Structure 1
Amino acid sequence: MLTAENPMGNSIESHPKRERLKPRRAPYWVRILPKRFLGYRKSTIGGGTWIAKYEQHGSTPRREKVLGHESEIDSFEEADLRARAWFGELDAKSPDSHQATVADACQAYVDAMYRQARFKTGDDAARMFARYVKATEFGQTQLSELSAPITQAWFDNLMTSAPADPERRRAARATANRKLASVRAALNHAYRALSWVSSDRGWTPVRPHGSLVKRDNPVKQRDAAFLAKPERQRLLACLKPDLADFCRALLLSGARPGEIAKLRVGDYNAATGELHVPFDTKVGGRTIIVSSQMRELVERCACARSVSAPLFARADGRVWTNDAWKRPFKRAVRKAELDPRVVPYCLRHTAITEFILAGIDSAIVAAWAGTSVRMIEQTYGHFRSETISRLVDRVSLL
């Protein structure tokens, strides 16, 4: 990657390429996140040292940290993982949680999106925050002083210049809702992940504008989200091998796409058949017992790979992101002649539906899927009723 301190774009991502680098005092830097760099200082006596560099916004000075010698950290992937962990520690410590503002929470959220390789989400949020939050009185409000009326006033202000035309006003309300969703996500991150504020009362009561568009029939939406077995098989057959394995993992685990993307080889315990699903924005990490089919898939994908490598990686070894799977998945949906509304999340819905139809207890399904029993009952209650009826019919009472 070309940077001011690595003008020739010398790669440090593989051992053979690092071997060809000329020894020098200045590290060879690679940007792994905005204002976050991983460097490699080539030694004159062989090998080299991994270094992380942190350049934060505002007045925070640049910081560097020696991660370790190449003899201790033998792969770029492991060095990248350690650098990101350090960046996360620094982001959590700055600014002081007692003085953190809404704008600080928004910046921390953008940084978190970049660390998770959710670049489009981070870019979109950064642009919105810069225009509608950071320079406003709302943005400068300290989280400790934030209240629902303050957040509501900011949200209402987004509609002060809305057009009178009904269609254009509906579009403006939808845009305002998206801005509120981004701000809520940032504040929830500050509350849940960073502990910068003691409660979410300052924004949770603020609700988005009501129904803006005519929705499809709920039954039709549910039908589109569930894929029958022949449809699943057609879809998998139309996907390239790397994305097909990613989608098989969704079907066999019922996990969220983002959770599967975050899995590392080291998250799987071959001795016990347990898979640790890492922290997600909605729930904490959890450990699940995998099925025999999932075990076979995991062990095939993990074979001969380092513990820090992505468990379900793209063909080039990189982590799956929404931007990476979106287009090839859509092409496969068209080729398989499926409903165009089908997205990867539908595979999670399909898996949970099959678990419920198989008679697995809602509490077990909820724990497996990383959600609540209440949500399972609300979303899949109609399937639960069918399953109970079928099971009761098996019992001979008279």
Structure 2
Amino acid sequence: MARTVKDVRLDSRAARERLEPRKKPYYRAIETGRHIGYYKGPRGGTWFARTGEPGSYREKRLGTADDTLDANGADVFNFGQAQAAARDWFDKVATETDALGDGEASTVKDAVERYIKAMNARLTKQEGRPIKARCGSALNRHVVSNADLAAKELHTLTAAQLRKWRAGLAVAPATRQRVTNDLKAALNESAPTAALKLIIKEGLASPKGESHAPAEEAADASKLLTDQETRKLLKAIHASDVDGDLYRMALLMAATGARFAQLRRLTVGDVQGARLRVMVPASRKGRVGSAQRASVPVPVGQDVIDALLPVTKGRKASEPLLERWRHKQTGPATWERDSRGAWQSAAELARPIRAAVKSAELGDSVSAYSFRHSSIVRALREGLPVRLVAQLHDTSIAMIERNYTRFMAHALEDVARKAIVPMVEEDRGENVVSITAAKAT
């Protein structure tokens, strides 16, 4: 049975002076399985650190105690400095242990593959069907296929190596940042120490001044739809959509500015017709774990509520609001309807939206994201506070300010112009006689 370590006071010179000299250091636990030690010799004290379990401790001499010399943080330590040095060593030991724990060092490739597997499992559990995470193909293409980086052992990874990899990505800024974020998440999942996480953070940080607005959040003016163009596109979608499934999805994208990934999770109970609003589920974008934010109440018009009535009447509140037909193949080039179910992927929108855009003659740059982009710009032009615009669209104020500055400036100018009053009184001249006075004479 392991013996319990009895702690002693080591935090002051006076406490250490009362200790009896002995051959072994006095130890005090600072974390479970981690101790800081003080050896009292005939000519002064020395700081030690040890980690592990009784019988298998690893021990390291840290430096001289400040019993007679002033602490300098280099080779003479006070109690606080000794603790910091001990923790640095504990992190190093933990990194080495993690890398060699299975007899083989964990590499960047191992970390990425574990992360992809975990993400696939999480999405599959959420959706109730096999799902492959979006990050998988990007990480395989840009990280796993990079022999130099993929083979690096985690405990030898440096910030310089990560910076070099990031700088070498020959992709658009938005893609570079997306892949960087995915790699950062993968490495942090496998990083056993705070020290390694700091290296990851430093190495994968965006250079100052670099623009890395995500593609889905980029304020590309060529994709902006006027209100008339929005209605024209919705009309084209409605005309080509026999069942109205695509039309209802597109209508909600235009009315709420929400992402497809949010709208596909709407339930019948999220439509609150009496209050003219839709409770849009919060985005899972960038979130880890099971914690989920509350839905966002987004006001909509009566026309939107009326369009949703056919899929809300007589259905349970927990049922998916937006559904579409599933098809099964019955021959080499023949398909037939099988069953209805919730939308699964944004890819299901791509082809019919492109066809509707072509029919409406709106240009190739218009996509499903144009609904969200246009909704944000519309809200800004109407003078809504940036905080409210960000809240309604489930994004950050920083994103709005970074990508929609020019629209904000125009909106604020219009608001400011309403507050203008004449500063100079009009000079009517001495010969001007008021009509009232002229009538009196």
Which bin holds the TM-score, normalised by the shorter protein?
A: 0.5 to 0.7
Q: Does 2:134 match 1:121?
A: yes
Instruction: Go from structure 1 to structure 2 and tell me whether the alpha carbon gap of 1:182 and 1:389 turns closer, same or farther (over 3 Å shift).
Output: closer
- Name 1:236's counterpart in structure 2: 234
Give 2:170's aligned residue. 173
* CA pair 201-321 structure 1, distance change in 2 beyond 3 A: farther
- Does 2:162 match 1:151? yes
Q: Does 1:384 align with 2:408?
A: yes
Query: What secondary structure, in the 3-state scheme, does the structure 1 residue paired with 2:134 have?
Result: helix
Of 301, 306, 321, the residue aligned with 1:311 is 321
More strand by percentage: 2
Secondary structure at 2:405 match in 1: helix
Aligned match of 1:290: 299
Q: Deviations over 1:288-309 (max 9, x none)?
A: 2422345445555433334443
| Counterpart contact for 1:155–1:176, Cα < 8 Å | no
Q: Distance in 1 between matches of 2:203 and 2:280?
A: 33
Cα pair 1:110 1:122 within 8 Å, conserved: no
Q: What is the rounded CA distance, in whole Å, between the counterparts of 2:346 and 2:278 in structure 1?
A: 26
1:263–1:312 contact (8 Å) kept in structure 2: yes
Cα pair distance change 1:189/1:351, threshold 3 Å: farther
CA distance in 2, matches of 1:347, 1:227: 7
Output the CA distance in 1 between the equivalents of 2:315 and 2:341.
Answer: 10
1:353, 1:383 within 8 Å by CA — same for their partners in 2? yes
- Residues 48-63 of structure 1 mapped to structure 2, 5 A cutoff: none
Partners of 2:116 and 2:164 in 1: CA distance: 18
User: Is the contact between residue 259 and residue 277 of structure 1 (CA under 8 Å) also seen in structure 2?
Assistant: yes
Amino acid at match of 2:406: H
Q: Distance in 2 between matches of 1:204 and 1:280?
A: 26
Q: Which amino acid aligns with 1:108?
A: A
The alignment partner of 2:200 has SS state of coil
AA partner of residue 263 (structure 1): L
1:278-357 to structure 2, matched below 5 A, reads: 278-282=282-286, 285=293, 286-293=295-302, 294-298=304-308, 300-315=310-325, 316-357=340-381
Q: Which has the higher contact order (CA 8 A, sep 6+)?
A: 1
Q: Tell me if structure 2 keeps the 8 A contact 1:313–1:320.
A: no
Correspondence for 2:151: 137
Give the aligned residue type for 1:355.
A
Bigger Rg, which one = 2
Partner of 1:188 in structure 2?
185
Distance 1:176-1:389 versus aligned 2 partners, 3 A rule = closer
Q: Secondary structure at the match of 1:317?
A: strand
- Which residue pairs with 2:114 in the alignment? 104
Per-residue CA distance 1:157-207 (angstroms, 9 max, x = gap):
xx6xxxxxxxxxxxx823999588446326437869x99997686157436
Post-superposition Cα deviations, 1:339-395, rounded to whole Å, max 9, x if no partner, equal 201111111000011111111111100111112222212322222222222233333
Tell me: CA distance 1:200–1:271, structure 2 relative to 1, closer, same or farther (3 Å): farther
- Give the Cα separation in 1 of the matches to 2:220 and 2:172: 26
TM superposition score normalised by structure 2:
0.51
Q: How does 1:62-73 map to 2 (within 5 A)?
A: none
Identical residues among aligned pairs (%): 18
What is the distance in 2 between the residues matched to 1:254 and 1:361? 16
CA contact (8 A) 1:224 1:341 kept: yes
**Runs (5+) with no aligned partner, structure 2:** 1-97, 209-218, 326-339, 423-441
Secondary structure at 1:202 match in 2: helix
Separation in 1 of the partners of 2:387 and 2:245?
32
What RMSD in Å do the two structures reach over aligned CA positions?
Answer: 4.3
Selected match of 2:251 from 248, 252, 265: 248
1:262 has 2:273 as partner: no
Per-residue CA distance 1:269-320 (angstroms, 9 max, x = gap): 5676450423421466342242234544555543333444332222433314
1:364 aligned counterpart, secondary structure: helix
Task: Give, in angstroms, the shift of residue 137 of structure 1.
Answer: 3.0
Conservation of the 8 A alpha-carbon contact between 2:262 and 2:280: no
Mapped to 1, the partners of 2:204 and 2:395 lie a distance apart of 23
Instruction: Tell me, in whole angstroms, the C-alpha distance in 2 between the residues paired with 1:186 and 1:306.
Output: 41
Cα distance change of structure 1 residues 361 and 300 upon mapping to structure 2, 3 Å threshold: farther
Query: What is the TM-score normalised by the length of structure 1?
Result: 0.55
SS in 2 for 1:262: coil
Question: Do the aligned residues in 2 keep the contact of 1:102 with 1:141 (CA within 8 Å)?
Answer: no
The within-5 A match list for 1:208-219 is: none
Distance 1:120 1:357, change over 3 A: same
- 1:152, CA displacement in angstroms? 3.9
Q: Secondary structure of 1:340's partner?
A: coil
Structure 1 Cα separation of the partners of residues 296 and 191 of structure 2: 24
1:257 & 1:354 partners in 2: Cα distance?
19
Q: Which whole-Å deviations, capped at 9, do the CAs of 1:318-341 have from their partners, x for residues lacking one? A: 314122111111111111111201
In the alignment, the residues of structure 1 paired with residue 258 and residue 232 of structure 2 have an alpha-carbon distance, to the nearest angstrom, of 21
